[in-house]
Amino acid sequence: MPQKRKKSLKKKRRSFIFIAVIAGALFLAGLFLSPYLWRKGQEIKEWLIKPPLLEETRVVKLYFSVSKEDYLFPQERKITSSSEVTSQAKAILGELINGPTSSSLLVPTISPKTQVRAVYVKDKCIYVDFFSALQEKHPGGSSGELLTVYSIVNSLIDNLPSQSEVQILIEGKPANTLAGHIDIRKPLSMNLDLVKVSPAG
């Protein structure tokens, strides 16, 4: 009997140590994780207060070149993004880089190898920061360059009327031109003189 008791006591003590070690480990883990958990908590709180940005689908007008590459012509396309201006701008630029649908006679205005680095908005101006491929993969020529610049500006401002200007940046820096012709040092507004009413020719 006392033997058995001793045994059960030993067992109890062992399980006590066991629980204590677990509690200690959890306490330490908690200490380690507390900054992370606190931040996560803040995020969740923010998320609860501000409803999540819902992805919505809308139809936008993208400006591509007509086959003679002397004017722009709009083509409608669906984009899915949050309602934030920067998120919509990124979606519009992504589709512009994808180019016109193959069934149309329209011609792309940006090399498919081009990527957007960042988009930010300030004082009604959308700053679009491209990787240098926009310059390096450009075929050159005034006509091609003029249409590249205004396909970007027109596609953004026409679909995001809360903004009025676009400045193109290359690798985080302002640039003089894309290929030696059109001045892009300052923000540009929409140019409707370059938009054709019919896609023919």
Partner 1 sequence: MRKLGALLVGLSLLLFLFVPFTQAEIQYEVGKVTYESHSDYTRVSIEVTPGTGYVVKDLQHPPRLLVNLYPASLASLSKEIKVGDRFVESIRLDQESKGVVRVVLDLNLSNATSSVDLSSDPSRLLIEIRGPEEDLVAAILKEKDSPIIREEEFPSTAPPPKKEKTIYTIVLDPGHGGKDPGAIGRSTGLKEKEVTLQVAKEVARLLRNEAGIRVYLTRNSDEYLSLDRRTEIANQLGADMFISIHANSGYRRNAKGVETFFNSQYSYGEGAEEVAARENKPLGSENVPDEAKLIIWDLIQNAYRSESNDLAHTVQKELVQTTDGEDRGVKSAGFYVLRGAAMPAILVEIGFLSNPSEETMLKKEDFREKIALGIVKGIKRYYQGKL
Which one, 41 or 180, has the nearer CB to partner 1? 180
Q: Which of 182, 195, 196, 199 binds partner 1 (CB under 8 A)?
A: 182
**Is position 201 an interface residue for partner 1 (rule: CB under 8 A)?**
no
**Is position 127 an interface residue for partner 1 (rule: CB under 8 A)?**
yes
State the Cα–Cα distance between residues 139 and 68, nearest whole angstrom: 15
Query: By CB under 8 A, how many residues form the interface with partner 1?
Result: 48
Minimum distance, C-beta of residue 141 to partner 1, in the bound complex (Å): 3
Choices 1-9, 51-59, 79-87, 143-151; region in contact with partner 1 by CB under 8 A: 143-151
**Is position 75 an interface residue for partner 1 (rule: CB under 8 A)?**
no
SS3 97: helix
State the Cα–Cα distance between residues 133 and 63, nearest whole angstrom: 20
**Is position 109 an interface residue for partner 1 (rule: CB under 8 A)?**
yes
**Is position 142 an interface residue for partner 1 (rule: CB under 8 A)?**
yes
Minimum distance, C-beta of residue 58 to partner 1, in the bound complex (Å): 26
Burial 63-101 (b: 16+ CB within 10 A, else e): bbbbeebebbbbbebebebeeebbbbbbbbbebbbebbe
Measuring CA to CA, which residue among 94, 108, 88 is closest to residue 157? Answer: 88
